[in-house]
Structure 1
Amino acid sequence: MTLPIVAYGAPILRQVAQDISPDYPQLEKLIEDMWETMYASNGVGLAAPQINRAIRLFVVDSAQIFANQDDDEDGGYADAPGVKKVFINAHIKQLDGEEWAYNEGCLSIPKIREDVKRPEEVVLEYVDENFQPHTETFVGLTARIIQHEYDHIEGKLFIDYLKPLRRKMLQGKLNDISKGKIRMDYKMMYAK
């Protein structure tokens, strides 16, 4: 089932999410719905707070970025061909490498894209959908998407990385999003 995406301005997007246990109600269905919602919204990642759940869960599919490119056209990203994974109870252990800028967007902040600098590598400790523990290092676009989704479970948004003047310039658009004065081709839930 496709779920509505929570729009900028909703308090849940600013909450630090909670770890969950293997007996979380209908977890398998929730993960399935998150994949469906992410793909229906043309996203490459989706965090549980974006579907109104304050839990430490996000899904990432960076493989779709590389899927439509020729074999010799990986864009120079070290993470080609990407990953498709579920991350539960994730915690960043280390950030490494040079910070690099990339034009990011967010399903919860539609029609706004900005350059954001992030480290090129992230070491993440998490459990998968079967609650098997992992500690993995991710690089390139995959690392960026993971950091973006991880921010959601920490109550942060990509616009928090912008300089104050740039944020001030975007405030009118942000207000319009929070008031529901924007229409998207995917379902959205606006702050009341």
Structure 2
Amino acid sequence: MKRNILIHPDPRLKKLCEPVTDLSDPLRQLADDLLETMYKAPGIGLAAPQVGVLDRLIVLDCEKGENAAPKPLVMFNPHVVAVSDEQNTYEEGCLSIPDQFADVTRPAEVEVAWIDRDGNAQQQGFNGLWATCVQHEIDHLDGKLFIDYLGPLKRQMITRRMQKLKRELARA
């Protein structure tokens, strides 16, 4: 089921999410809903707080080629266990901050541990767009948005645009 994506500023986007302690069927359904919502948006990553659920759950799929097979990843309780010294800068956007983009610098490579939808512990290294995306989505679980990496003026400008967008959507 496609879910509504919260738009910044929404206080739920700034909250620390709770670890998932029991992989229930409703949580697996939430993961499926997140994937469906992400693909329809369209986006390459989505975190549970972006749909108003404060659980540590993210989904991502950074396969972007026209004929690329989908490669969805579902991560419960993901956390970064190691980062490279090398940095990469990507122009990031966010489904909760539509049509706004900015360069963000993050570690170029990360090692991430998580629990998959079957309850199995996983660990994998990511680089390139995948590394940026997984870090961006994990940030959501800690109440951090990509605009938090920007200077105060740019961050305020984007926040004002989002407030205006929310007012326009409320009138529609």
- TM-score past 0.5 threshold: yes
Answering whether residue 17 of structure 2 is matched by residue 3 of structure 1, we say: no
**Structure with more contact order per residue of length (Cα contacts < 8 Å, sep ≥ 6):** 1
1:134 correspondence with 2:122: yes
Query: Is 2:92 the partner of 1:104?
Result: yes
Aligned to 1:120: 108
For the 8 Å contact 2:23–2:119, the answer to whether it is kept is no
1:85-126 Cα distance to aligned partner (Å, 9 max, x none):
101011111221422211111000112111111111111111
Letter in 2 for 1:57: L
Secondary structure of the residue aligned to 2:108 is strand
Report percent identity of matched pairs: 36
For structure 1, the 5+ residue unaligned runs are 71-80, 184-189
Q: Which residue of 1 aligns with 2:29?
A: 29
How many Å separate the matches in 1 of 2:144 and 2:8?
11
CA distance, structure 2, for counterparts of residue 162 and residue 36 of structure 1: 30
Distance 1:98 1:125, change over 3 A: same
Aligned to 1:143: 131
Distance across 1 between alignment mates of 2:46 and 2:113: 18
State the Cα deviation string for residues 25-59 of structure 1 (Å, max 9, x = none).
Answer: 51222111111111110010110000100000000
In 2: Cα distance, 1:125 partner to 1:91 partner: 6
- 2:16 and 2:54 in contact (8 A); partners too: yes
Deviation at 1:82, TM superposition (A): 8.8
Please state whether the residue corresponding to 1:130 is helix, strand or coil.
coil
Scaled by the length of structure 1, what TM-score is found?
Answer: 0.81
- Inter-partner Cα distance in structure 2 for 1:96 and 1:83: 24
CA distance in 2 between partners of 1:116 and 1:175 (Å): 22
What is the aligned partner in structure 1 of residue 20 from structure 2? 20
Residues 87 and 112 (structure 1), Cα distance of their counterparts in 2 relative to 1, 3 Å cut: same
Cα contact 1:46–1:149 (8 A) shared by 2: yes
**Aligned position for 1:181:** 167
Structure 1 segment 17-96 matched on structure 2, within 5 A: 17-24=17-24, 26-63=26-63, 65=64, 67-68=65-66, 83-96=71-84
Compared with structure 1, are the counterparts of its residues 82 and 62 closer, same or farther at alpha carbon in structure 2 (3 Å cutoff)?
farther
Length-normalised TM-score, structure 2: 0.90
1:145-186 deviation line (CA, Å, top 9, x unaligned) = 000100000110000001223223334213324xx1355xxx
Is the Cα–Cα contact under 8 Å of residues 23 and 117 in structure 2 kept in the other structure? no
CA distance in 2, matches of 1:86, 1:48: 11
TM-superposed CA distance for 1:135, in Å, is 1.7
| 1:148-163 equivalences in 2 (<5 Å) | 148-163=136-151
The 8 Å contact of residues 2 and 34 in structure 2, kept in 1 or not, is answered as yes
Number of positions where the alignment pairs a residue of Structure 1 with one of Structure 2: 170
Conserved 8 A contact 2:9-2:159: no
In the alignment, what sits opposite 1:169? 157
| CA distance in structure 2 between the partners assigned to 1:101 and 1:109 by the alignment | 19
* Paired residues of 1:83 and 1:142 also in contact (CA < 8 A): no
SS of match in other structure, 2:84: strand
